[in-house]
Structure 1
């Protein structure tokens, strides 16, 4: 067995073993390889102390201080690792694939456990994502459209039918708009968000279509990596549209149950851009007229999306659904677009109102 592996081979093989992150807890929280267990060699304070000694005094002194810190912990590391391993190989990484992971791997091997180190460490893992995107002929289709169409539900229905779906909003814990954080868990860091995307891509087949919802490059406070965002911009765009009344019903059902003060706070984030619509939305919320408040939000986002499509000057194929049925929409999208061939003009039937909205952009 090799004791050190490059990123791609390390990630492939580690699926059959146990990933061990020996960086400090703070480094782990900022971002880690999905599925990795945290077994930090140093605490955050200890790491800072050793780093300061290295910078101000020298390498030898830093190593000696590191050994003083780690020595009393060694038996505990072995016991914890043995429990995590359960007879499997341990795949160990630190930031650069240097002393921390090398020392831990040596200790684990000494204790009779097979251990493999990630060459170049977590930094090499991070860099490998751009290489993965660039090295494969990915087939991607972006599903865009106005707010309230239920695009996320449609993509989930597609995933249930065995299609390859990259659900960026689920990975970001955010639905994209200023209302997108409502009801969601805390967002990851951008670093961790990109790691989650990377993890999904490792499971995808580049010869099959990958469906992704059209998004801005920023989703809440996380950012889609540049390489992926460029792929999305270059991919075929299917502009999914739904009857306006159905969209409004969906928005009310999705957000109407949140407290009025939370909804008002979200409206406040776009108050200047709403103009007179902002006080009108607040008045509607206070009076319990949720549908009217949702109409203000929908009108605003429709204008934003129309302008966005116009600015990009991007070609697209329209796909209209006469009723809100994500399962049926998923079936039709797969049937008409999964092979990457654009449908005939008769296959996509945009609604009259939606067609006018798009053309005004």
Structure 2
């Protein structure tokens, strides 16, 4: 029979502590357990993390008050009193895979909450990895990541140019990409949230972007779709946005008739009331008359006419934004098809000299 000292020694060998960068790399595709409270988790969390809270928000507040007013020992005892009855439930909820028992655990600062769960899961057969410094350390890592110099190429084009499809076609051709809209769960325009579910928080977006950047090879070019700094409710971090603003741009030029096909394919199945509500949100920019005309066209099911009325508005906005770039940093590529793979191949061929001549920008 194994003694308690043997069990403690065994669990200790199953707890590994990793700095943020190593933690993110090792945890890729693995089970990440965030033991903070539901309220902390909701404000922001790592991509793919599951919330397995040791305490509820109210319980954590109670323990914090005890710590300040009575002392550390009483706070710890109260914490043990709360967690004790939950131990079996916590182990079951962790869903330890016998074939791959690795789990990655963190709390706010890499303190008692993550260490306690790691110890418990270690006793239960898991190979637990704890994030040194916790979520706070990861956030510091993430914010520094946005300033890392990259060989960015901006994929631009007017609305309906199929940029997102081309971006992923470039990835299938072996290019590195960052899909900001996918990370933000929003397609960018006033209509961009109609396909999305619950909007994410700024922290969660930044965390997802930092992890995506960590997976890149900084010596190779990285394609990023042209975006406003704000995508839905989230904002591209300033350091990364500055890199985007100074990067060369490859701009897709596509006939309006093809762009309309792409727009209708993307938004044609959206509820008419939702489309109309989205149009109303830009009424002050569209003007009252055009807004009414667009809404009437949508109500009649004439989305083709609605596109004809909206496209000039979006084209004007995009053309104005494009003027902020230096002319010598813009390469225009004419695309005569809606097929993303064909357009991606054409863009790569046209941008070959640009890609070969790129160097990683120096640290500012």
Task: Please indicate the TM-score interval, normalised by the length of the shorter structure.
Answer: 0.7 to 0.9
Cα offset, 1:35, TM superposition: 2.9
Number of aligned residue pairs: give it: 342
- 1:183-240 CA-to-partner distances (Å, cap 9, x unmatched) read 3232222211222222222222222221110011111112212222112112111121
Question: Matched residues in 2 for 1:337 and 1:321: separation?
Answer: 14
Give the alignment's TM-score, normalised by structure 1.
0.86
2:22 — aligned with what?
A: 9
SS in 2 for 1:183: coil
Residue 40 of structure 2 corresponds to: 27
CA distance, structure 2, for counterparts of residue 82 and residue 260 of structure 1: 43
Instruction: Report how far residue 56 of structure 1 moved.
Output: 4.3
> Are the structure 2 counterparts of residues 251 and 53 from structure 1 closer, same or farther at C-alpha, using a change threshold of 3 Å?
same
**Does residue 279 in structure 1 map to residue 286 in structure 2?**
no
Q: Which residue of 2 aligns with 1:68?
A: 81
- RMSD of Structure 2 on Structure 1 (CA): 2.5
**Partner residue of 2:252?**
240
Are the structure 2 counterparts of residues 313 and 3 from structure 1 closer, same or farther at C-alpha, using a change threshold of 3 Å?
same
Equivalent positions of 1:152-231 (< 5 A) are 152-231=164-243
Q: Distance in 2 between matches of 1:230 and 1:297?
A: 29
Alignment partner of 2:269 out of 253, 257, 263: 257
Aligned partners of 2:87 and 2:304: how far apart in 1? Answer: 61
- State the secondary structure of the residue aligned to 1:83: coil
| Conservation of the 8 A alpha-carbon contact between 1:23 and 1:40 | yes
Deviations 1:279-319, CA, capped at 9 Å, x for gaps = 22122223333222112211111111122223455642211
TM-score, L = length of structure 2: 0.85
- Tell me the distance in 1 between the aligned counterparts of 2:353 and 2:138: 32
Residues 333 and 350 in structure 2, CA contact (< 8 A), matched pair in contact too: no
Q: Displacement of 1:152 after TM fit?
A: 0.8
Q: Distance in 2 between matches of 1:277 and 1:16?
A: 48
Specify the alignment match of 2:9 in structure 1: none
Q: Does the 8 Å contact 1:148/1:247 carry over to 2?
A: yes
Contact 2:205/2:234 (8 A) holds in 1: yes
In structure 2, relative to structure 1, the CA distance for the partners of 1:284 and 1:16 (3 Å cut) is closer
Where 1:205 maps in the other structure, the secondary structure is: coil
4+ residue stretches of structure 1 with deviation over 6 A? none
Give the one of 322, 331, 336 matched to 2:350. 336
Alignment partner, residue 337 of structure 2: 323
